[in-house]
Amino acid sequence: MTRSGAFIVRPADHQTPLNVVGVKVTVLASNSVTRACEITLQKGEAGMGPPPHRHAWDESFYVLNGSVEFNCDGVTEICPAGTLVHVPANTLHAFQFVDGGGEMLEFTGSGGNATRMFGAVHEAIPPGPLDLPKVIEVLARNGVEVAL
């Protein structure tokens, strides 16, 4: 998508979801299109989600279906459908989809790099057993610091 100005993204326009450490990420709008935020749709089975990490952009999540366990700065909470979670830039955070899996929208703040990072992970990390050192390397190249 390389349009400028107003746009509409219909389901038929969705790109094939990216596989990002077991989470299916559909890019709805990158910041190259919006000139500001990024918007993705994320779906995952129980147990899927990124390791604890931080980055220089704000991120907000809105849980659409199922439940997602979020950990932000050491505080963990199960968030059911209808919950909004806002994560300021540089906040250590992680999430995992819980029993039954789930679906959520992700919005990044201005200057975000999430959609480019998701594409890089999708290209470099094949499905299957996770090669954590490789994931950490790809994330670092894209402005994400993993904290294990």
Query: Considering the domain boundaries, does residue 66 fall inside one?
Result: yes
Position 30, amino acid: S
Query: Considering the domain boundaries, does residue 6 fall inside one?
Result: no
The alpha carbon of 69 is separated from its chain's Cα centroid by a whole number of angstroms, namely 14
Instruction: For residue range 3-61, list pLDDT tens digits in order.
Output: 558 899 999 999 999 999 999 999 999 988 888 899 999 999 999 999 999 999 999 99
Query: Considering the domain boundaries, does residue 105 fall inside one?
Result: yes
Instruction: For residue range 80-98, list pLDDT tens digits in order.
Output: 999 999 999 999 999 999 9
Position 130, amino acid: L
Across 122-144, average pLDDT = 93
The C-alpha atoms of residue 54 and residue 73 are separated, in whole angstroms, by 10
Query: Considering the domain boundaries, does residue 1 fall inside one?
Result: no
- Element holding 145 (H helix, E strand): strand 144-146
Query: Considering the domain boundaries, does residue 3 fall inside one?
Result: no
Instruction: Give the residue numbers spanning the domain of 36.
Output: 11-146
Query: Considering the domain boundaries, does residue 5 fall inside one?
Result: no
Look up the CATH number of the domain holding residue 18. Answer: 2.60.120.10
Domain count, the chain: 1
The C-alpha atoms of residue 40 and residue 26 are separated, in whole angstroms, by 5
What is the model's pTM? 0.92
Query: Considering the domain boundaries, does residue 114 fall inside one?
Result: yes
Question: What is the pLDDT at residue 148?
Answer: 83
